[in-house]
Amino acid sequence: MVGAGGLWHHRSIDTVRSDVPSPPPAPAPDGRRRFRLVRRPADRILAGVAAGLGDELGVDHAVVRLAFVVLSFAGGAGVVAYLVLWLFSSDGTVESSRAAPSDDATSRLLKTGAVALVVGGLLLLLRAAGAWFGDAIVWPVALGALGSAVIWMRAGPDRRTRWTRAATRHPVETVFTGEMSRGRIAIGALCIAGGMAVFLAAHNAFSAAGNVVIAAGVTAVGLSLIAGPGMWRLGRQLAEERRQRIRSEERAEVAAHLHDSVLQSLAMIQRAESAPEMATLARAQERELRAWLYGRPDGQGQDSLSRAVDEAAARIERLHQVRVEAVTVGDRTMDDRLRAMLQACGEAMTNAARHSGADRMSVYVEVEKDAVTAYVRDTGRGFAAANVGGDRRGISESIRGRMERAGGSAEVTSEPGGGTEVKLVLPFTQ
Amino acid sequence: MSDEVRVFLVDDHRLFVSGVRSELGSSFSIVGEAGDAEQAVAGILETSPDVVLLDVHMPGGGGAAVIRTVAPQRPDVRFLALSVSDAAQDVIEVIRAGARGYVTKSIAPDDLAGAIRRVHDGDAVFSPRLAGFVLDAFAGESPPSLDPELDQLTTREREVLRHIARGYAYKEIARQLHISVKTVETHVSAVLRKLQLSNRSELTRWATERRLI
């Protein structure tokens, strides 16, 4: 057993060194050729005997390897068989890429089944002959190997390659995370073998019940190493794929947005003929981009006063080519009265844009518990209340009228040369 | 009229820097410029300017990092933050790092010149949007704290901030509230101090998110 342990140990080191993922199952030889065992150093884990045998028999390398593992627990028969076959095989480096007609899936399945039956028969034979480490060890290992073989056979070539790659990437990861990894199978088997060695050394017999428990425990550890972490590995794989998908979706969304907005605006700016037109385009784009970068995501706060104020300001900027600095403190969900107030506010902004002569204005809206107050201020030419023109009075009346119908009030302060400020107040009774 | 305030420009947008240079060059002495945080620190330490005009976003660390590195060694250098971003956390970060004010890059050249002078005089400069943000952050009940003074605004300070948000200049605010310009400046400086030192969760949230505390 010590010898076998050493071999297995060597095997795991081999795995670590191997950077080459094992290729998809090699094609089976054609039937007319004489049976000749050729080692496949390119696909080797130990010496390439299992790979060569697999090629000869027309079954997957992994299945052959599992068969050797299982048989090794029947008194080390697998190890002996491996060494014997190694002695009688030839080095296949020279002709490693021999082409052979590939079997169809059914035939390969039949051959694999045959291998399983042969292994099963050998196990029974060896058990009867006494070359046996105990039922608690061999049968679970055999069953685990059978299960692994089924999983391996059913997996597509790309998944196998992925598994193999995962298994050969990193030594520690290989042992604990690689699904179906060679390293883990090797170490699991080592555990089992070690358990058996302890067992034998301590009692020199197979009958002590307590040791069966120990042996079973070690076996369980070995088996869980072989089969258990596959699920964990799979979970991690899925999570990683999901992360990458989300990342690429976000990227696509950003790209789409920039294309629809910024790139379009830049194109329009290049075609714009006058400086004010350029400035307007740039300003509108700036506002839009700012809202997208720092504002609430779409669908959130859609119906809020602060958003409505920003939109009204943007509209005035677009229509009248002035700069509107809008600041909102606090927030509130829009309702009919607030909508009326916002319309009055829009009138005041239009008014300032058209008549003040200033190129910028400030809009300030503050939401308090009992009232919403809005200020629209420009630093333009202003006016004296006495000589207000007819249309101007009309606009101011429409502002006031709207506010009063909504239950609020409006107040216009202005002086010639000192700008104009419209103050709107909408009280809330609650 | 100009007492030749020495200004250092820090911005990674060369186009913007050259624009500001030509706008301010006649009334200020531009002693240097830098395009990233590292250059900025070295340049400021070397030239010891009066006012640093500092971009909030830069390669190699933001404006706040520059302030934190330079301020302990050059306590007399004053910082005015300048940014295209209105994002509250950016503004608060740079203010809490020690900037005396914050303006957006869309500011008119005259206003920028005024802001630089004001910062040079040791006063604070608030954009309407920053004023709005401060009113928002200091709204509501103040949390229980060791220094309640720091965690709420006085009625007068609120009034001054409201006027700034409404687009009034300091001089106009003074006239509206029947106080002197100096008093307005005092109020704004007091607000700046609260903004820098208060533990209100609305302010510290940004800071802790960026691991400033």
Question: What CATH number did the domain enclosing B159 receive?
Answer: 1.10.10.10
Q: Cβ A294–B131 below 8 Å, yes or no?
A: no
Q: Of A395 and A398, which is predicted with more confidence?
A: A398
Asked if residue B117 and residue B103 are part of one domain, the reply reads yes
A174 part of contact set with chain B, CB < 8 Å: no
Closest by Cβ to B136, choosing from A290, A323, A329: A329
Say yes or no to pLDDT of A170 above 60.
no
Confidence at residue B163, expressed as pLDDT on a 0 to 100 scale: 93
B135: which DSSP letter?
H
> CA-to-CA distance for B213 and B210, rounded, in angstroms?
8
Say yes or no to pLDDT of A299 above 80.
no
User: How many angstroms from the chain centroid is the CA of residue B70?
Assistant: 16
Q: Of A304 and A426, which is predicted with more confidence?
A: A426
Closest by Cβ to A377, choosing from B84, B108, B166: B166
A293 part of contact set with chain B, CB < 8 Å: yes
Which residues in chain A are contacts of B166 at CB distance < 8 A? 362, 364, 375, 377, 421
> CA-to-CA distance for B154 and B151, rounded, in angstroms?
10
Sign of CA dihedral A180, A185, A191, A195: positive
Confidence at residue A101, expressed as pLDDT on a 0 to 100 scale: 46
Say yes or no to pLDDT of A119 above 70.
yes
Least reliable range by pLDDT among A33-47, A320-334, B20-34, B49-63: A33-47
Mean pLDDT, chain B, integer: 84
Sign of CA dihedral A207, A211, A212, A213: positive
Q: To the nearest whole angstrom, how far is the Cα of B155 from the nearest Cα of chain A?
A: 14
Asked if residue B190 and residue B173 are part of one domain, the reply reads yes
Q: Residue length, chain A?
A: 430
Say yes or no to pLDDT of B44 above 80.
yes
Q: Cβ B85–A329 below 8 Å, yes or no?
A: no
> CA-to-CA distance for A329 and B131, rounded, in angstroms?
9
* Among B166, B173, B176, B202, the residue to mutate for chain A (most A Cβ within 10 A): B166
Which residues in chain A are contacts of B129 at CB distance < 8 A? 325, 327
Average pLDDT (A166-170) is 50
Q: To the nearest whole angstrom, how far is the Cα of B79 from the nearest Cα of chain A?
A: 24
Asked if residue B106 and residue B162 are part of one domain, the reply reads no
* Assigned token pair, B111: 């206003």
Residue of B nearest to A289 (CA): B85
Residue of A nearest to B130 (CA): A327
Q: Which CATH class is domain A303-427?
A: alpha beta
Sign of CA dihedral A326, A328, A334, A337: negative
Q: To the nearest whole angstrom, how far is the Cα of B45 from the nearest Cα of chain A?
A: 34
Average pLDDT (A113-117) is 81
> CA-to-CA distance for A232 and A175, rounded, in angstroms?
13
B130 part of contact set with chain A, CB < 8 Å: no
Q: Of A156 and B52, which is predicted with more confidence?
A: B52
CATH number of the domain encompassing residue B32: 3.40.50.2300
Q: Are B192 and B203 in contact (CB under 8 A)?
A: no
Asked if residue B42 and residue B58 are part of one domain, the reply reads yes
Say yes or no to pLDDT of A374 above 90.
yes
A364 part of contact set with chain B, CB < 8 Å: yes
Angle at B208 between CA B120 and CA B162, to 5 degrees: 50
What confidence tier does B177 reach under pLDDT thresholds 50, 70, 90?
very high
Say yes or no to pLDDT of A366 above 70.
yes
Q: Cβ B167–A329 below 8 Å, yes or no?
A: no
- SS3 state of residue B25: coil
Selection from A176-185, A285-294, A366-375 with the highest mean pLDDT? A366-375
Least reliable range by pLDDT among A68-72, A210-214, A240-244: A210-214
Say yes or no to pLDDT of A18 above 50.
no
Least reliable range by pLDDT among A379-388, A389-398, A404-413, B184-193: A389-398
Q: Are A225 and A184 in contact (CB under 8 A)?
A: yes
Residue of B nearest to A283 (CA): B106
Confidence at residue A198, expressed as pLDDT on a 0 to 100 scale: 67
Q: Are A145 and A67 in contact (CB under 8 A)?
A: yes
> CA-to-CA distance for B95 and B101, rounded, in angstroms?
7
Q: Cβ B85–A294 below 8 Å, yes or no?
A: yes
> CA-to-CA distance for A131 and A205, rounded, in angstroms?
13
Q: Cβ B167–A323 below 8 Å, yes or no?
A: no
Say yes or no to pLDDT of A301 above 80.
no
Asked if residue B118 and residue B141 are part of one domain, the reply reads no
Asked if residue B183 and residue B105 are part of one domain, the reply reads no
Q: Cβ A327–B168 below 8 Å, yes or no?
A: no
- Diameter of chain A measured on Cα atoms: 123
Say yes or no to pLDDT of B209 above 50.
yes
What percentage of chain B has pLDDT greater than the value 70? 88
What confidence tier does B206 reach under pLDDT thresholds 50, 70, 90?
low
Which residues in chain A are contacts of B162 at CB distance < 8 A? 364, 366
Asked if residue B204 and residue B139 are part of one domain, the reply reads yes
Q: Give the count of domains, chain B.
A: 2
Mean pLDDT, chain A, integer: 74
Least reliable range by pLDDT among A87-96, A212-221, A405-414, B10-19: A87-96
Q: Are B27 and B113 in contact (CB under 8 A)?
A: yes
Say yes or no to pLDDT of A111 above 70.
yes
Which residues in chain B are contacts of A345 at CB distance < 8 A? none
- Between helix A61-72 and helix A49-57 the angle, nearest 10°, is 120
What confidence tier does A74 reach under pLDDT thresholds 50, 70, 90?
confident
Show the DSSP H helices in A295-356 as ranges.
Answer: 305-320, 336-355
> A with B: how many residue pairs have Cβ under 8 Å apart?
46
H/E element, A246 = helix A230-258
Least reliable range by pLDDT among A1-5, A130-134, B194-198: A1-5
B175 part of contact set with chain A, CB < 8 Å: no
Confidence at residue A379, expressed as pLDDT on a 0 to 100 scale: 87
Residue of B nearest to A286 (CA): B84
Nearest to B162 by CA among A421, A290, A351, A417: A421
B107 part of contact set with chain A, CB < 8 Å: no
Where do the domains of chain A lie? 2-228, 303-427
Asked if residue B141 and residue B113 are part of one domain, the reply reads no
Confidence at residue A286, expressed as pLDDT on a 0 to 100 scale: 81
Say yes or no to pLDDT of A386 above 60.
no
Confidence at residue A196, expressed as pLDDT on a 0 to 100 scale: 67
Average pLDDT (A81-97) is 69
Asked if residue B148 and residue B109 are part of one domain, the reply reads no
Closest by Cβ to B165, choosing from A294, A327, A360: A327
Q: Which residues make beta-bridge pairs with B34?
A: B10
Say yes or no to pLDDT of A38 above 70.
yes
The residue segments making up the domain with residue B8 are: 1-122
What confidence tier does A79 reach under pLDDT thresholds 50, 70, 90?
confident
What is the arrangement of strands in the sheet containing B125-126, beginning at the earlier edge strand? B29-34, B6-10, B51-55, B78-83, B101-104, B125-126
> CA-to-CA distance for A187 and B170, rounded, in angstroms?
78
**DSSP E strand boundaries for A220-349:** 323-329
- Could you give the C-alpha distances from B28 to B14, B46, B83, B117, in angstroms and in order? 19, 18, 20, 10
What confidence tier does A128 reach under pLDDT thresholds 50, 70, 90?
confident
What percentage of chain A has pLDDT greater than the value 70? 67
Confidence at residue B187, expressed as pLDDT on a 0 to 100 scale: 93
Asked if residue B129 and residue B118 are part of one domain, the reply reads no
Asked if residue B86 and residue B147 are part of one domain, the reply reads no
Q: To the nearest whole angstrom, how far is the Cα of B132 from the nearest Cα of chain A?
A: 6
What confidence tier does B7 reach under pLDDT thresholds 50, 70, 90?
very high
Task: Look up the pTM and report it.
Answer: 0.56
Asked if residue B132 and residue B82 are part of one domain, the reply reads no
Q: To the nearest whole angstrom, how far is the Cα of A20 from the nearest Cα of chain B?
A: 41
Q: Of A375 and A162, which is predicted with more confidence?
A: A375
Least reliable range by pLDDT among A25-29, A226-230, B171-175: A25-29
What confidence tier does B140 reach under pLDDT thresholds 50, 70, 90?
low
B103 part of contact set with chain A, CB < 8 Å: no
* Assigned token pair, A60: 């997957």
